[in-house]
Amino acid sequence: MSETIPSLFMRIINREIPAEILYEDELCIVINDIAPQAPVHMLVIPKQEIARLVDAAHSDQSILGHLLLVAGEVARQFGVDDAFRLVLNNGADAGQTVFHLHLHILAGVKGSKEFSEANIGSW
């Protein structure tokens, strides 16, 4: 029998690691990113552990939709609802470092070319 080590986010959800929880409901939490990439950088994390988006099942549809609605609600609460970016990395080569699905809310970068759709990235 193998034991799996809880992800960093599960340890935060279970209150084993301290974090400033900005929002919480029965399905998810929102925290500030500890290494922000924008003036506002929050993470929307489901309490149900799903490693990557591609690991989600049809039965996860409601939680995935809920995460998007919470992202919009939290953006409104923190006054960044006019301009924010949502990022979901899937896999290490896409920049995912914690293998517990989560959304990044990035905001507070006014007039930046980096927030332009034309600058999403070129691979």
pLDDT of residue 113: 58
71 within 8 A of 81, measured Cβ to Cβ: no
Residue 117: pLDDT band by 50, 70, 90 thresholds?
low
State which residues form the domain around 47: 8-108
The catalytic position among 58, 66, 100, 102 is 102
Q: Centre a 10 Å sphere on the Cβ of residue 108 and count the other Cβ atoms it contains.
A: 16
Residue 113 lies in a domain: no
Question: Which residues are CB-contacts of 77 (< 8 A; sequence separation ≥ 6)?
Answer: 23
Residue 53 lies in a domain: yes
Residue 67 lies in a domain: yes
Residue 106: pLDDT band by 50, 70, 90 thresholds?
very high
End-to-end CA distance of the chain: 41
Residue 122 lies in a domain: no
Residue 3 lies in a domain: no
pLDDT of residue 2: 46
Structural domain count, the chain: 1
Report pTM: 0.88
Residue 97 lies in a domain: yes
Q: What is the CATH number of the domain that holds 104?
A: 3.30.428.10
Residue 117 lies in a domain: no
Residue 102 designated active-site: yes
Percent over 70 (pLDDT), the chain: 87
